[in-house]
């Protein structure tokens, strides 16, 4: 049970650390984990742990991109007024 509590606490620390990562750093870490998985030299447990870490970094990247998209939407200038436009519009 102690190791489970330790894992839970480590997970919380990793999530907090993920928030302070830049998009580029999180993406680099994610790419490194993908390479590690693609090599196929890991045990099943190592693969699962690596996959879980990768999902955390993917989540950080997604959150960072969503925030950037929101900022872009807010900064679109139309007829002298700031208006929100969907990101996909040119």
pLDDT tens-digit readout, 20-74: 899 999 999 999 999 999 999 999 999 999 999 999 999 999 999 999 988 877 7
- How many other CB atoms are there within 10 angstroms of residue 7's CB atom? 11
Task: Determine the pLDDT at residue 75.
Answer: 76
What is this structure's pTM? 0.66
Instruction: List Cβ neighbours of 87 (8 Å cut-off, separation of 6 or more).
Output: 69, 72, 73
Q: Which residues pair with 78 in a beta bridge?
A: 81
Going from the N-terminus, what domains does the chain have, and what CATH number goes with each? 2-82 (1.10.287)
Burial label, 16 (beta-carbon count in 10 A; 0-12, 13-18, 19+)? exposed
Task: Determine the pLDDT at residue 88.
Answer: 64
Task: Determine the pLDDT at residue 70.
Answer: 84
Chain center to CA of 18: 7
Q: Which two tokens stand for residue 75?
A: 């900064």
């Amino acid at each position: 049970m102690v190791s489970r509590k330790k894992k839970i606490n480590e997970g919380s620390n990793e999530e907090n650390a993920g928030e302070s990562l830049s998009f580029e750093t999180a993406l680099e870490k994610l790419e490194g984990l993908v390479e590690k998985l693609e090599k196929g030299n890991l045990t099943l447990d190592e693969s699962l742990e690596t996959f879980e870490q990768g999902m955390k970094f993917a989540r950080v990247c997604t959150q960072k991109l969503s925030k950037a998209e929101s900022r872009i939407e807010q900064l679109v200038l139309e007829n002298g007024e700031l208006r929100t436009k969907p990101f996909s519009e040119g």
